């Protein structure tokens, strides 16, 4: 599904290159649950941003579902966002001016899903996540764990094939974090959604099927998680 | 999607209440001012616009070239109409119309006077109504306004004189106590916005001087209108008129000096040089300056909008980033932000309409005009409103929308959009400077306009206009006999201090000019202004002699008093030398017996004329009553009573000299009020905008301020830091504004013969005011930030 070959990313400052990613070459297949681990400054978030096409690598080739991303037009990339990629952020990033239901509905609007279907899909997902009672509240009226549930619901409602999660439990208490990780695992195993997460936590990483250890922008270890 | 956008827009506006309030307040006031200006300009442009042939209608006017200047009149010599009719084939119709003012009396069945009034009346040729299409309720000018002693009335005049217009037909209207005319036609009332406010129109055959043959006499009351033939270009008619002038004035005294030209109907209201029967005109330049002020207003309000929106954009960068990764196209984001702007504009427009409705009565009062504000009556106003909303939304919304929607999502989500990127700090500075340049120009202009007005109010005119009433006197032979006796009886009223009979007050726009000879040498370079006065004139108006004494007692001219300007223009330096010189005016030769100190005989727009004063009791149709200022009300009542008893067949008319003087400056008064109001509005908008902008800037710099505080900066140092850049910008705006204001205001002052000299004070004061308000605004806002606990500010990161 994803093929990275020799991805490099650096920032030049007065002729000195500061490498953030070096020689990153890997493949991610459909249905995998990959955790990217590493210390602060290892390039985890940058790698995720590259995967999410939010940043362009300086060198290297990135193929998403067989297409070379660097050649994609803006409109095509937006198409990918609408149909294939769901984002989950550490700070949830719900739109403060929208209610829970509206936040979840937003990607469907961009995907141009019809009104009736939108309603039923939003209702479905609210039901599945047990947040029907919260649907008319604004994000700042929810706890962190509830906000992240809404964030995941929003990522899922457009039925993406891959979810990119940047420290999804980083701001949460441990019990809430476990629930979220359980949810990810369930989505991966029961619905076959590919998940790539960045995490600091060894425990969280064990929920996945594979761990990429990153150090100073280089993949040091690519380990499979045994269950 | 649109509905959701609107909901989000609403929530966003509500969340940033202060920002919203500032935007809507500034915009709605700016818009209201714009609407008022638009309504006014539309009204002024609508003058004389309702005639079927308006494109082909022209007025013939007169012009003069003198050695030292030019002159112009709306009138033409009486024989001109007949002459152009036969000699200029380019014209389809030609019609003379004569204005006069007099006592009009409606007679009852048995010939008794039922109602009388002193009012303007017209004598018009029937062709006049072919040129101008009136609607007729009864009669037809083609048949009914040809014979002598026939008259047409407007509907409201007919009602006024005869009760019902249906009753007026066939009745008798008596003019000036001698001329009886039968009412033969009734026309519908003319709208207010006309230069031809006709109420009572006699047939031209009734006009006693219709056969006057003098080409040298031009009265502003004798106008001539023409209708060009279809397809004839005005330049062809102009060329024909040049030939006509050459031919008519070939062997004439007026050769080369007097000539006629065509003035388009649409120009009549917008050209004060010639004047018109309605006595109302507005210069194009005034309309332009109003339009420019309107543009400035809307520009300032839009600048607020842009500045605030781009400043606020940083706060919204997260939302933009999320929307982008959710699959929003840039176009959709732009539409979303424009929707917000549109929502604000529409709300502002609704408030502006309310404000306009509230302000309209005041504006009506100010301009003394009937201005209607009805969307249905004038669809163009509705179009303007919609256009204004769209213009403002685009002008104010498009740039911020473009900036905000262009954020890089990865940066935006992390709130790492720097303030300089979000809408170019440079651009925001530029806009701020532009805004304050406009504001400063207006502050300076307002102060100079106020100063010039004060100067005109306070300048000594050379006579004392206080507590003097001017009362009209009937000039027929019977009334003339009563003048002296009436004067004596007036002086007996307690509180009456002086009474003088004359034709014009010391300062008046009613000007009679004449050629003259001095010691037998005819003067061709300039004309003198003639005034006819009795012996108490100088005492009544408290005027001074610099040489000689008052006129000799006489009913007719047997001596002259001249003014200083007369001497200067004739090259006489010593006033004493002028005494005894023989002066010939209107073929009457008499010695100069006195020289008066100069007094302003016209408005301060104009230089003092060379004046020659003499006695002539036939011309005394005005009277000045100087009163004890404490008893004016009682005295005026007593004067009116005595007047009515003495002249029972005439209509009493009076005015105060001070009011007449103020009338000269009606336009300045209006300009003054407009300048004050609009500069206040612009100052308000600018500083409210500055307040909003500073709020955002200080919010962004909260962290910087906190760090500086931890490092040991005092509150005062922080205030100086935050104020510095703004004060510099406002100072820069002042520098740009000064030369601009200087050029504009000098231009304006140049229209006055008597004007103040520009000095540095209004400029310095404008700078002081703008800097002070900036300082206060910035300090108020930043004091709070400077006072916050650094721990709270630094915790966020």
d(CA B76, CA B223): 6
d(CA B497, CA A1): 110
CA angle B512, B514, B516 (to 5 degrees): 150
Pairing outcome for strands B172-175 and B179-187: antiparallel
CB B100 within 8 A of CB B152: no
d(CA B310, CA B304): 10
First to last CA, chain B: 34
SS3 B500: strand
User: With the C-alpha atoms ordered A186, A187, A190, A195, is the resulting torsion angle positive or negative?
Assistant: negative
Q: Testing the interface with B: which of A55, A74, A87, A97 to mutate, by most B Cβ within 10 A?
A: A97
SS3 B570: coil
CB B570 within 8 A of CB B588: no
> What are the tokens at A14?
């007065």
Q: Check CB contact under 8 Å for B11 and A97.
A: yes
Q: Check CB contact under 8 Å for B327 and A111.
A: yes
Please name the member of B4, B15, B408 whose beta carbon is closest to the beta carbon of A102.
B4
List CB contacts (< 8 A) between B326 and chain A: 81, 87, 106-107, 110, 154
Q: Check CB contact under 8 Å for A95 and B322.
A: yes
Q: Check CB contact under 8 Å for A89 and B326.
A: no
Say whether pLDDT at B547 is over 80.
Answer: yes
> What are the tokens at B69?
């200047």
List CB contacts (< 8 A) between A93 and chain B: 318, 321-322, 413
List CB contacts (< 8 A) between B330 and chain A: 74
> What are the tokens at A120?
């039923």
d(CA A62, CA A22): 14
Q: How confident is the model at residue B606 (pLDDT cuts 50, 70, 90)?
A: confident
Q: Which residue has the higher pLDDT, B741 or B282?
A: B741
For residue A12, the distance in angstroms to the closest alpha carbon of chain B comes to 18
Contacts of B463 (CB under 8 A, 6+ apart): B506, B507, B541, B542, B543, B599
Among A9-18, B416-425, B716-725, B758-767, the range with the most confident prediction by mean pLDDT is B758-767
> What are the tokens at B128?
């006049």
CB B605 within 8 A of CB B753: yes
pLDDT in tens, B85-101: 999 999 999 999 999 88
Query: For chain A, what's the residue count?
Result: 227
Q: Which residue has the higher pLDDT, A194 or B217?
A: A194
Chain A residue nearest residue B1, CA to CA: A109
Q: Check CB contact under 8 Å for B329 and A107.
A: no
For residue B688, the distance in angstroms to the closest alpha carbon of chain A comes to 26
Q: How confident is the model at residue B419 (pLDDT cuts 50, 70, 90)?
A: low
User: How many Cα atoms within 13 Å fall on the side-chain side of residue A188?
Assistant: 23
For residue A82, the distance in angstroms to the closest alpha carbon of chain B comes to 5
Least confident range from B182-186, B339-343, B691-695: namely B691-695
In this structure, what DSSP letter does residue B748 have? H
Confidence at residue B418, expressed as pLDDT on a 0 to 100 scale:
58
Contacts of B746 (CB under 8 A, 6+ apart): B758
Chain B residue nearest residue A155, CA to CA: B326
For residue B8, the distance in angstroms to the closest alpha carbon of chain A comes to 6
Confidence at residue B520, expressed as pLDDT on a 0 to 100 scale:
85
> What are the tokens at A96?
């403060």
Q: Check CB contact under 8 Å for B1 and A109.
A: yes
Ramachandran area for residue B71 (φ above 0: left; ψ -120 to 50: alpha; else beta): beta
pLDDT in tens, A95-111: 888 899 999 998 888 88
Q: Check CB contact under 8 Å for A158 and B11.
A: no
Phi, psi of B201 (to 5 degrees): -125, 110
Bridge partner list, B502:
B533, B622
Tell me which residue has tokens 């007005």: B453
SS3 B688: helix
Please name the member of B8, B326, B409 whose beta carbon is closest to the beta carbon of A54.
B409
Mean pLDDT along residues B599-623: 89
Domain boundaries, chain B: 1-44+282-423, 54-268, 429-460+665-797, 475-649
> What are the tokens at A200?
């600091």
Bridge partner list, B596:
B545, B563
Helices (H), B524-596: 537-541, 564-569, 575-578
Q: For residue B573, how far is the Cα from the chain centroid?
A: 40
Interhelix angle B666-700/B657-664, nearest 10 degrees: 50
Bridge partner list, B591:
B582
Model pTM above 0.95: no
For residue B15, the distance in angstroms to the closest alpha carbon of chain A comes to 8
A111 touching chain B per CB within 8 A: yes
pLDDT in tens, B145-171: 888 999 999 999 999 999 888 888 999
A49 touching chain B per CB within 8 A: yes
List CB contacts (< 8 A) between B412 and chain A: none
Percent of chain B with pLDDT over 90: 33
Please name the member of A78, A93, A110 whose beta carbon is closest to the beta carbon of B413.
A93
In this structure, what DSSP letter does residue B340 have? H
Mean pLDDT along residues A157-180: 89
Say whether pLDDT at A5 is over 70.
Answer: yes
Tell me the CA distances in angstroms from B638 to B494, B496, B771, one per residue in order: 9, 10, 58
Q: What is the CA radius of gyration of chain A?
A: 18
Q: How many CB contacts within 8 angstroms connect chain A with chain B?
A: 57
CB A179 within 8 A of CB A185: no
Domains of chain A: 33-44+74-224 (3.40.50.300)
pLDDT in tens, B450-476: 898 888 888 889 999 999 999 999 878
Q: Testing the interface with A: which of B16, B327, B409 to mutate, by most A Cβ within 10 A?
A: B327
d(CA A4, CA A25): 5
Q: Check CB contact under 8 Å for A81 and B327.
A: yes
Say whether pLDDT at B661 is over 80.
Answer: yes
Helices (H), B88-177: 128-131, 141-144, 155-162, 165-168
Q: Testing the interface with A: which of B325, B335, B416 to mutate, by most A Cβ within 10 A?
A: B325
State whether ipTM is beyond 0.85: no
Chain B residue nearest residue A111, CA to CA: B327
Confidence at residue A74, expressed as pLDDT on a 0 to 100 scale:
79
Confidence at residue B369, expressed as pLDDT on a 0 to 100 scale:
63
Say whether pLDDT at B191 is over 60.
Answer: yes
> What are the tokens at B124?
């018009």
Pairing outcome for strands A2-13 and A162-166: unpaired
Q: How confident is the model at residue B797 (pLDDT cuts 50, 70, 90)?
A: very low
Please name the member of A74, A79, A93 whose beta carbon is closest to the beta carbon of B322.
A93
> What are the tokens at B123?
């004598």
d(CA B194, CA B265): 11
Please name the member of B7, B12, B410 whose beta carbon is closest to the beta carbon of A49.
B410
First to last CA, chain A: 23
Q: Check CB contact under 8 Å for A107 and B326.
A: yes
pLDDT in tens, B256-269: 678 899 999 999 98
A55 touching chain B per CB within 8 A: yes
CB B104 within 8 A of CB B116: yes
pLDDT in tens, B204-217: 999 988 888 888 77
SS3 B53: coil
> What are the tokens at B618?
């036939």
A212 touching chain B per CB within 8 A: no
Q: Which helix (H) or strand (E) holds B758?
A: none
Kindly list the strands in the beta sheet with A2-13, ordered across the sheet, starting from the edge strand earlier in the chain: A16-28, A2-13, A59-64, A67-68
Q: Check CB contact under 8 Å for A93 and B326.
A: no
> What are the tokens at B126?
């029937």
CB A184 within 8 A of CB A207: yes
CB B664 within 8 A of CB B459: no
d(CA B547, CA B544): 9
For residue B309, the distance in angstroms to the closest alpha carbon of chain A comes to 17
Please name the member of B15, B326, B408 whose beta carbon is closest to the beta carbon of A106.
B326
Tell me which residue has tokens 């040991």: B712
Confidence at residue B15, expressed as pLDDT on a 0 to 100 scale:
80
Q: Check CB contact under 8 Å for B319 and A96.
A: yes
d(CA B28, CA B353): 8
A13 touching chain B per CB within 8 A: no
d(CA B390, CA B399): 14
Bridge partner list, B94:
B226
How confident is the prediction for chain B on average, in pLDDT?
Answer: 86
User: With the C-alpha atoms ordered B642, B647, B648, B652, is the resulting torsion angle positive or negative?
Assistant: negative
Q: Check CB contact under 8 Å for A97 and B15.
A: yes
Chain A residue nearest residue B15, CA to CA: A97
d(CA B446, CA B762): 9
Please name the member of A54, A79, A110 whose beta carbon is closest to the beta carbon of B326.
A110
Strands (E), B265-420: none
């Amino acid at each position: 599904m994803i093929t990275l070959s020799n991805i490099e990313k650096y920032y030049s400052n007065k002729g000195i290159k500061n490498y953030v990613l070096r020689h990153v070459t890997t493949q991610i297949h459909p249905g995998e649950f990959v955790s990217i681990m590493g210390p602060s400054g290892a390039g985890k978030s940058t790698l995720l941003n590259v995967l999410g096409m939010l940043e362009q690598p300086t060198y290297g080739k990135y193929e998403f579902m067989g297409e070379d991303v660097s050649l994609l037009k803006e409109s095509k990339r937006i198409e990918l966002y609408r149909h294939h990629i769901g984002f989950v952020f550490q700070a949830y990033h719900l739109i403060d001016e929208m209610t829970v239901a509206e936040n979840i509905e937003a990607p469907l609007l961009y995907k141009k899903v019809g009104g009736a279907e939108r309603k039923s899909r939003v209702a479905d997902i609210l039901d599945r996540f047990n947040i029907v009672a919260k649907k008319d509240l604004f994000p700042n009226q929810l706890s962190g764990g509830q906000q992240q549930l809404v964030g995941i619901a929003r990522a899922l409602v457009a039925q993406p094939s891959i979810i990119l999660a940047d420290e999804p439990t980083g701001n949460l208490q441990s019990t809430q974090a476990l629930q979220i990780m359980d949810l990810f695992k369930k989505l991966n195993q029961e619905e076959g959604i590919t998940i790539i997460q960045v995490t600091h936590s060894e425990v969280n990483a064990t929920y996945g099927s594979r761990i990429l250890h990153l150090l100073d922008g280089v993949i040091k270890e690519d380990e499979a998680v045994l269950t | 999607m649109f509905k959701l956008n609107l909901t989000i827009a609403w929530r966003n506006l509500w969340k940033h209440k202060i920002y919203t309030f500032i935007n809507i307040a500034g915009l709605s006031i700016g818009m209201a001012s714009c609407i008022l200006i638009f309504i006014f300009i539309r009204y002024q442009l609508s003058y004389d616009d309702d005639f079927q042939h308006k494109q082909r209608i022209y007025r013939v006017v007169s012009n003069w070239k003198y050695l030292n200047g030019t002159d112009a009149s709306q009138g033409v010599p009486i024989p001109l109409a007949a002459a152009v009719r036969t000699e200029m084939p380019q014209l389809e119709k030609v019609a003379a119309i004569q204005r006069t003012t007099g006592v009009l009396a409606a007679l009852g069945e048995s010939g008794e006077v039922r109602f009388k009034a002193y009012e303007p009346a017209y004598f018009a040729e029937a062709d006049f109504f072919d040129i101008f299409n009136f609607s007729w309720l009864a009669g037809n000018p083609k048949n009914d306004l040809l014979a002598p002693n026939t008259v047409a009335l407007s509907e409201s005049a007919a009602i006024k004189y005869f009760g019902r217009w249906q009753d007026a037909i066939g009745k008798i209207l008596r003019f000036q106590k001698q001329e009886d005319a039968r009412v033969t036609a009734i026309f519908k009332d003319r709208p207010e916005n006309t230069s031809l406010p006709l109420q009572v129109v006699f047939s031209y055959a009734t006009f006693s001087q219709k056969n006057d043959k003098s080409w040298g006499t031009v009265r502003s009351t004798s106008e001539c209108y023409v209708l060009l033939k279809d397809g004839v270009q005005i330049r062809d008619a102009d060329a024909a008129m040049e030939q006509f002038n050459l031919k008519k004035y070939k062997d004439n005294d007026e050769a080369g000096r007097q000539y006629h030209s065509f003035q388009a109907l649409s120009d009549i209201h917008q050209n004060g040089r010639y004047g018109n029967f309605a006595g109302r005109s507005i210069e194009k330049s005034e309309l332009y300056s109003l339009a420019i002020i309107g543009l400035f207003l809307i520009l300032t309000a839009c600048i607020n909008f842009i500045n605030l929106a781009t400043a606020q954009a940083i706060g919204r960068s997260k939302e933009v980033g999320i929307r982008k990764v959710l699959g929003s196209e840039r176009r959709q984001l732009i539409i979303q932000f424009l929707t917000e702007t549109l929502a604000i504009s529409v709300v502002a427009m609704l408030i502006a309409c309310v404000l306009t409705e509230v302000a309209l009565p005041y504006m009506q009062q100010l301009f003394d005009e009937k201005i209607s504000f009805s969307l249905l009556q004038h669809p163009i106003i509705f179009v303007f409103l919609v256009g204004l909303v769209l213009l403002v939304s685009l002008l104010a919304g498009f740039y911020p929308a473009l900036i905000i929607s262009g954020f890089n999502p990865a940066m935006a989500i992390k709130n790492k959009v720097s303030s300089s990127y979000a809408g170019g700090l440079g651009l925001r500075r530029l806009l701020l400077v532009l805004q304050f340049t406009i504001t400063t120009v207006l502050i300076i202009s307002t102060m100079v306009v106020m100063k010039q007005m004060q100067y005109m109010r306070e300048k000594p005119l050379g006579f004392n206009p206080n507590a003097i009433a001017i009362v009209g006197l009937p000039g027929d032979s019977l009334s003339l006999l009563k003048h002296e006796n009436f004067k004596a009886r007036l002086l007996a009223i307690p509180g009456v201090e002086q009474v003088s009979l004359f034709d014009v007050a010391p300062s008046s726009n009613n000007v009679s000019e004449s050629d003259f000879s001095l010691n037998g040498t005819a003067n061709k370079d300039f004309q003198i202004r003639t005034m006819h006065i009795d012996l108490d004139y100088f005492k009544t108006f408290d005027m001074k002699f610099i040489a000689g004494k008052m006129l000799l007692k006489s009913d007719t001219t047997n001596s002259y008093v001249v003014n200083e300007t007369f001497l200067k223009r004739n090259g006489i330096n010593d006033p004493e030398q002028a005494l005894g010189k023989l002066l010939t005016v209107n073929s009457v030769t008499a010695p100069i017996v006195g020289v008066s100190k100069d007094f302003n005989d016209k408005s301060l727009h104009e230089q003092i004329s060379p004046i020659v004063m003499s006695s002539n009791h036939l011309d005394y149709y005005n009277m000045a009553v100087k009163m004890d200022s404490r008893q004016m009300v009682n005295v005026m009542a007593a004067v009116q009573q005595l007047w009515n008893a003495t002249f029972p067949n005439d209509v009493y008319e009076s005015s105060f000299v001070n009011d007449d003087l103020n009338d000269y400056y009606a336009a300045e008064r209006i300009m003054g009020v407009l300048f004050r109001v609009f500069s206040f509005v612009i100052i308000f908008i600018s500083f409210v905008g500055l307040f909003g902008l500073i709020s955002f800037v200080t919010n962004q710099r909260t962290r910087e301020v906190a760090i500086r505080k931890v490092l040991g900066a005092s509150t005062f140092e922080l205030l100086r830091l935050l104020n510095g850049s703004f004060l510099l910008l406002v100072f820069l705006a002042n520098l740009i504004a000064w030369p601009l204001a200087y050029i504009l205001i000098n231009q304006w002052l140049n229209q006055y013969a008597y004007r103040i000299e520009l000095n540095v004070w209004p400029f310095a004061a404008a700078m002081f005011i703008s800097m002070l308000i900036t300082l206060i605004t910035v300090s108020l806002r930043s004091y709070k930030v400077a006072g916050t606990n650094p721990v709270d500010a630094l915790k966020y990161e």
